[in-house]
Structure 1
Amino acid sequence: MKYSLTLIVFTILLNFSYGQRTQELVKKIDSLFLEDASQEAFDLAYELVQNGNEDPLILHRLGMLYIEFPINQPQKALTHLQRAQSLTTDDSLRNGIHLDIAQVYYSMMKYDDALEKLEILLDQEYYRASALTISMSIFSDQGQYEKAIEIAREALALEPYLLPTIVNTGFLFLNLEQPDSALAYFERADELKPNDPVIINNIGFAYYKKGNLSKSLDLINESISIYPTNSYAYRNRAYVLTELDKIDEACNDINKAIELDYLNRYGDDILELKNSNCK
Structure 2
Amino acid sequence: MKKIVKKIIFISLISFSFFRVNHVQSLVPYYYLPTLKNLQKDSLSIGKNAYQLLYFGQYEKSLNLAKLAVQINNKDEKLWLILSEAQIANKLYKKALISLNKAQKINSKNSEIYFAKSSVYLKLSELQKAKTALKSGLSVEPNNHNAIFQLGNISLMEQNYSEAITLFERSIKIKPDFWQAINNQGLAYFEKNNINQSLKHFEKAISIEENAEPLLGLASCLRVKDIKLALKLAKKALIKNPNYINRDYRKEQLWGENIQSSTEILLQNDQLKQDVILAKSKINESS
The TM-score with structure 1 as length reference comes to: 0.60
Alpha-carbon distance, 1:166 to partner: 1.0
Give 2:267's aligned residue.
278
The size of the alignment, in residue pairs, is 216
- The alignment status of 1:188 with 2:170, answered yes or no, reads yes
Assess if the C-alpha contact under 8 Å between 2:215 and 2:237 holds in 1. yes
d(CA) in 1 for partners of 2:244 and 2:185? 19
Give 2:53's aligned residue.
63
Deviation track 1:111-138 (CA, whole Å, cap 9, x = no partner) reads 2232222221222335653222222223
Deviation track 1:215-272 (CA, whole Å, cap 9, x = no partner) reads 22222222223222x344345445534576846357436624643x5689x9364897
Q: SS of the counterpart of 2:125? A: coil
Alpha-carbon distance, 1:278 to partner: 2.4
- The alignment status of 1:99 with 2:81, answered yes or no, reads yes
Give 1:143's aligned residue.
125
The structure having more radius of gyration, on CA atoms, is 2
Q: Any residues of structure 2 matched to 1:237-276 within 5 Å, and which?
A: 237-241=218-222, 246=227, 248=231, 251-252=234-235, 255-256=238-239, 258-259=241-242, 267=249, 269=251
d(CA) in 2 for partners of 1:104 and 1:87? 12
Equivalent residue in structure 1 for 2:143, among 161, 164, 184: 161
Percent of residue pairs identical: 19
Q: Any residues of structure 2 matched to 1:1-279 within 5 Å, and which?
A: 55-56=45-46, 59=49, 62-66=52-56, 73=57, 76-77=58-59, 79-80=61-62, 82-83=64-65, 86=68, 94-125=76-107, 128-228=110-210, 230-241=211-222, 246=227, 248=231, 251-252=234-235, 255-256=238-239, 258-259=241-242, 267=249, 269=251, 277-279=266-268
Relative distance call for 1:95 and 1:257 in structure 2 (3 A) is: same
Deviation track 1:87-142 (CA, whole Å, cap 9, x = no partner) reads 697777x5313213323433454322322222212223356532222222232333
Assess if the C-alpha contact under 8 Å between 1:241 and 1:250 holds in 2. no
Aligned Cα RMSD in Å? Answer: 3.8
The TM-score with structure 2 as length reference comes to: 0.59
d(CA) in 1 for partners of 2:89 and 2:203? 29
Q: Give the structure, 1 or 2, with the largest relative contact order (CA under 8 Å, sep 6 or more).
A: 1
Alpha-carbon distance, 1:149 to partner: 1.9
Relative distance call for 1:112 and 1:85 in structure 2 (3 A) is: closer
d(CA) in 2 for partners of 1:107 and 1:99? 12
Unaligned runs of 5+ in 1: 1-53, 67-72
Q: Tell me which moved more, 83-92 or 203-212.
A: 83-92
Unaligned runs of 5+ in 2: 1-43, 269-287
Give 2:28's aligned residue.
none
Assess if the C-alpha contact under 8 Å between 2:212 and 2:238 holds in 1. no
